[in-house]
Structure 1
């Protein structure tokens, strides 16, 4: 049986997420309610006690009567009450048929979804075409001892953390919602420095909403120097996983790299709270760049990160790309290609 839940059906959405074997805060109703870039839906296919649920954002394609789907910022993709490795193959095939019928009936051209590196979603998505390798994410294993973890740090990371402690940088786990305003200012300065796109310019209310959400546990860590907060991170904790959602440092303190001490201290607290993994994420656009190398300084534990890029209607897709005077054979790593000008503008 197929269901399409809207963002107005919070209890039903939340029940499917909570009953999933594996899920992250990116799948929750609350996180989707914060995203205004599209109309959030939860596509559900279920048979007896088993189900597959797929959260997506539906967007109208400008100057057309057609639509496409994307995922929220972060690691999303489908979830189920069972590991995808163990799901009945027939159920997955019938999910595929139902989902494709849904796409065809709604004038939908493409689907883009970031997949979760810790889950086995590829066992389902391989039923379709369009799995795309986006590189790797870096994680720290919190089930080891802190001594084993730190022994795996790059030498330069160990030395930098030692110097930061000597300079009396301190990391605090905030319990005051008013500190969201402090982090918002640090984050805004960081975004201006790197020239971030508008959809990454979150305001204070966004951080307050995350910190007060009841479907996951959001923590605000701040680094202080001389009693002033100069760096911080929003870390979201769901089930066994801690995720760095957002991290920022004031320009004047970038040289000291206080985020290295911050990362180390988060793992100390994470262990005490019983989490098993601290996911640091990947590089910019998930490339193995300088940021990825920075994260690798803490751990060699990497997970494959994939996205799903599916064309539901080839003819429409091609016409939309040509309409934008773009090359159908372009090797630019962007999907769907007909939306690339929206990012460039």
Structure 2
């Protein structure tokens, strides 16, 4: 289970899942008792090294039946996925009518999608993503430095796909997805579009292309994620639901690793230990200059350009 270590003060730090759905991975035969025993061992080790709290984003697909007595597991909202075992006809039938119209219109206008295996278009994708985030007024935490993208390609290149949409040779949108080959899951990661070509709906055309690509390769699911802040009522979630009726519950797990230090950071308010459903960790709300990592909810704003 991957974590990011964030310094709280000179004495301690807290742990948070990386961006996305970095939930725990375990073999199918693993019992719930063993999982809890393992989690308690991790918590003990984290406490020894100065950790105060631990925020875990569970994967809606891989951790669908997740239960744990460690900390508190909370339902945050819904996500959408596409069942890639269905036929092309079934997929097209499940696609909302306005999505179908927009895709057909774009294709007739000459919009094409290809996979950039050598990541030649990565600089353009980075620019489009940044422009899209600025256009949406996204928080600073939704921007990544250049090193992030290049290290992602370097470390996970065989498991990444950069889908690029073009019209008349011009890149009008691009989407970065990851592929878990053994699990058969494609994960929508980041997308950027050129504002001048919004009338071509590049995000819709790319999702259609990714869906076809995954189905042709025998993969099982294309996970599109959820709405902004885990909402199932916003326009981003509505956009994704236009491709599939399949939804999944997104959960987070909140663990107070060091209760005494947690209470102390919350001005001695012991009530924070009895209800972990609100902003977590509670002390992050009041730490001046704290990293706004959005741990209260699932981070979906980087996908908001699909609206």
Q: Provide the TM-score with structure 1 as the length reference.
A: 0.75
How far the C-alpha of 1:276 sits from its partner, in A, is 1.3
Q: Do the aligned partners of 1:77 and 1:121 also contact (CA within 8 Å) in 2? A: no
Q: Is the 8 A contact 2:32 2:68 kept in 1?
A: no
Shift of 1:330: 9.9
Task: Give how far 1:322 is off.
Answer: 2.9
Partners of 1:334 and 1:167 in 2: CA distance: 47
Does the C-alpha gap of structure 1 residues 264 and 79 become closer, same or farther in structure 2, counting only changes over 3 Å? same
Larger RCO (CA under 8 A, 6+ residues apart): 2
Q: Does 1:293 align with 2:238?
A: yes
- Decide whether aligned partners of structure 1 residues 255 and 139 sit closer, same or farther in structure 2, where only a CA change above 3 A counts: same
Q: In structure 1, how many angstroms separate the alpha carbons of the residues matched to 2:40 and 2:206? A: 47
Offset at residue 216 of structure 1 (A): 4.6
Q: Would the aligned equivalents of 2:36 and 2:68 in 1 still touch at CA under 8 Å?
A: no
Q: Counterparts of 1:202 and 1:257 in 2: how far apart (Å)?
A: 24
Give the structure 2 partner of residue 274 of structure 1. Answer: 218
Q: Name the structure 1 match of 2:139.
A: 197
Residues 314 and 185 (structure 1 numbering): CA distance in 2 closer, same or farther, change over 3 Å?
A: same
Q: Does 1:165 align with 2:107?
A: yes
Q: Work out the CA distance in 1 between the residues paired with 2:4 and 2:264.
A: 23
Equivalent residues of 1:216, 1:238 under 8 A apart: no
**1:1-345 mapped onto 2 (5 Å cutoff):** 54-62=1-9, 64-80=10-26, 82-83=27-28, 86-120=29-63, 123=66, 125-214=67-156, 216-239=158-181, 240-288=184-232, 289-322=234-267, 333-340=278-285, 342=290
Q: CA separation of 1:113/1:300 partners in 2, compared to 1, >3 Å: closer, same or farther?
A: same
Superposition CA RMSD, Å: 2.6
TM-score by length of 2: 0.83
TM-superposed deviation, 1:77 = 2.1
Check the 8 A contact 2:175/2:190 in 1, yes or no: yes
| Gapped regions of structure 1 (runs ≥ 5) | 1-53
Contact kept? 2:254, 2:276, Cα under 8 Å: no
Residues 139 and 301 in structure 1, CA contact (< 8 A), matched pair in contact too:
yes
- Give the structure 1 partner of residue 296 of structure 2: none
CA 1:66–1:303 in 2, change beyond 3 Å: closer, same or farther? same
Cα displacement (A) at 1:332: 8.7
Deviations 1:260-313 (A, max 9, x none): 111101111122222111111111122121100100000010111111111123
Q: Distance in 1 between matches of 2:64 and 2:55?
A: 14
